[in-house]
Amino acid sequence: MIGIFKSMYITFATMLRKPVTIEYPAKHRDVPQRDRAFPILLWDKDVDEPFCTGCHACERACPVECMTVTMKDNPLHADGKSDRRKIVDEFWIDYGRCMRCNICVEVCNFEAIAMNNTWAGHELSTFDRNDLVLDLQQLLAQHKQGKIDEWVAE
């Protein structure tokens, strides 16, 4: 009998504790700075172009082949405004395939890609899975608008 009373005691003691949960869709807890949602591209505000040169390093290293990159000659380089001779032309990432392993961020030589560390990177439910394939403008949008304080490991 003692064992059962002990169990009851713990159960009632827990009833008096403060709740540890929060009501999720209404409230969001803070995500840590290193939070890894999905990869996004970063925008070079000084030159007004993406950091990405379309070098295919991330595409080759990706374990699940979720990226497609193409490269073009940089028009701003011809005008003398930019140091980058080549620049990214098109960039697609299929968020439905991505396994969030952070390897693309590690291999990038230009620090042009980072993991989204905001709640916007997590709440991505769509009705059509094709909406999860993001193009260059969508990938750049968040950092362009200054919504991301990115964290990249040294």
Partner 1 sequence: MVQERGPDTVDINVNMGPQHPSTHGVFRMVLTIDGERVIDVEPHIGYMHRGAEKLSENMDYRAAIGYQDRTDYLAQFLTEQAYCMAVEKLLELEVPERSEYIRVILCELNRVTSHLMFLGAFGIDLGYFGTSFTYGFRERERLQDIFEEVTGERMMYGYFRPGGLAWDVPDNFVQMIRDVLPHTRQGLKDLDMLMTQNEIVAARTKGIGAMNLEDSINWGLSGPMLRAAGSDWDLRKDKPYSIYDRFDYDIPVGSHGDVFDRYLVRLEEAYQSLRIVEQALDQLPDGPIMPEKMPRRLRGPDAEVYAAVEGPRGEYGIYIVSKGGDKAYRLKIRAPSFCNLAALRDMTVGNYVADAVAILGSIDIVLCDVDR
- From candidates 12, 16, 18, 20, binder to partner 1 by CB under 8 A: 20
Residue 3 sits in the site that holds partner 1 (CB under 8 A)? yes
| By CB under 8 A, residue 55 contacts partner 1 | no
**86 binds partner 1, rule: CB under 8 A:** no
Binding segment for partner 1 (CB under 8 A), chosen from 28-36, 51-59, 67-75, 80-88, is: 28-36
The H-assigned helical ranges of the chain are: 2-15, 57-61, 75-78, 103-107, 136-144
Q: Interface mask (CB under 8 A) for partner 1, residues 93-132, using x and -? A: ------xxxxx--x--------x-x---------------
Q: Which of 125, 37, 122, 48 is nearest to 87 (CA)?
A: 48
Strand (E) positions, the chain? 39-41, 43-44, 49-50, 67-73, 86-94, 113-115, 133-134
Nearest approach, Cβ of 60 to partner 1 (angstroms)? 10
